[in-house]
Structure 1
Amino acid sequence: MDKWNLIIDVENCTNCNMCVLACQDEHVDNEFPNYAAPMPKHGARWIEIMRKERGQAPMIDVAYMPVMCNHCDNAPCIKEAKDGAITKREDGIVIIDPVKSKGQKHLVDSCPYDRIWWNEELEIPQTWIFDAHLLDEGWKQPRASSVCATGSIVAKKISDEEMEKLAQDEKLEVLEPKKGTKPRVYYKNLYRYNSCFIGGSVFANQDNIIDCIQDADVTLKRNTEVIAEIKTDIFGDFKFDKLAEGSGDYQIEINADGFKKKTINIVLDESVTLEDIQLSK
Structure 2
Amino acid sequence: MKKWNLIIDVAKCFNCNNCALAVHDEYYDNEFPGIAASMPRLGHRWIDLIQRERGVYPLIDVVTLPVTCNHCDDAPCLKAARNGAVEKRADGIVVIVPEKAKGQRQIVESCPYGAVWWNEEKKLPQAWPFDAHLLDAGWTKVRASQSCPTDAIRTLKVDDAEMRRLVAEEGLQVLQPEAGTKPRVYYKNLDRFTKALVGGSVAGPVSGTEECLAGASVALVQGGRKVAETVTDTFGDFRFDGLDEGSGGYRLEIRKPGFAPGALDFTLGQSAYLGVITLTASAA
- Give the TM-score, by structure 2 length: 0.95
Residue in 2 that maps onto 1:39: 39
Residue in 2 that maps onto 1:276: 276
Identity %: 52
How far residue 208 of structure 1 moved from its aligned partner, in angstroms, is 5.1
Residue in 2 that maps onto 1:65: 65
How far residue 257 of structure 1 moved from its aligned partner, in angstroms, is 2.8
Partner-residue secondary structure (3-state), 2:11:
coil
What is the aligned length?
A: 281
Query: How far apart are the structure 2 equivalents of 1:128 and 1:15?
Result: 19
Residue in 2 that maps onto 1:168: 168
User: Could you list the per-position Cα deviations for residues 180-238 of structure 1 after superposition, in whole angstroms to 9, with x for gaps in the alignment?
Assistant: 10000011111111111111111124565221112222111111111112221221111
How far residue 138 of structure 1 moved from its aligned partner, in angstroms, is 1.1
Query: How far apart are the structure 1 equivalents of 2:269 and 2:83?
Result: 46
Q: How is 1:184-223 mapped onto 2 (pairs within 5 angstroms)?
A: 184-206=184-206, 209-223=209-223
Residue in 1 that maps onto 2:146: 146
Residue in 2 that maps onto 1:15: 15
Query: Which ranges in structure 1 are unaligned for 5 or more consecutive residues?
Result: none
Partner-residue secondary structure (3-state), 1:91:
coil
Residue in 1 that maps onto 2:52: 52
Query: How far apart are the structure 2 equivalents of 1:73 and 1:248?
Result: 36
Query: How far apart are the structure 1 equivalents of 2:242 and 2:9?
Result: 16
Partner-residue secondary structure (3-state), 1:276:
strand
Residue in 1 that maps onto 2:77: 77
Partner-residue secondary structure (3-state), 2:275:
coil
Q: Does 1:241 align with 2:241?
A: yes
User: Could you list the per-position Cα deviations for residues 67-94 of structure 1 after superposition, in whole angstroms to 9, with x for gaps in the alignment?
Assistant: 1000000011101111111110000000
**Which range moved further: 8-17 or 68-77?**
8-17
2:268 alignment partner AA? L
1:210 alignment partner AA? E
2:96 alignment partner AA? I
Residue in 2 that maps onto 1:130: 130
Residue in 2 that maps onto 1:99: 99
2:94 alignment partner AA? V
Partner-residue secondary structure (3-state), 1:275:
strand
Query: How far apart are the structure 1 equivalents of 2:140 and 2:207?
Result: 65
Query: Which ranges in structure 2 are unaligned for 5 or more consecutive residues?
Result: none
Partner-residue secondary structure (3-state), 1:144:
helix
Query: How far apart are the structure 2 equivalents of 1:157 and 1:180?
Result: 22
Residue in 2 that maps onto 1:182: 182
How far residue 259 of structure 1 moved from its aligned partner, in angstroms, is 2.9
Residue in 1 that maps onto 2:87: 87
The CA RMSD measured in Å over matched residues stands at: 1.3
Partner-residue secondary structure (3-state), 1:169:
helix
Partner-residue secondary structure (3-state), 1:134:
helix
Residue in 2 that maps onto 1:260: 260
How far residue 279 of structure 1 moved from its aligned partner, in angstroms, is 1.7
Residue in 2 that maps onto 1:112: 112
2:183 alignment partner AA? P
Query: How far apart are the structure 2 equivalents of 1:88 and 1:233?
Result: 50
Query: How far apart are the structure 1 equivalents of 2:193 and 2:158?
Result: 27
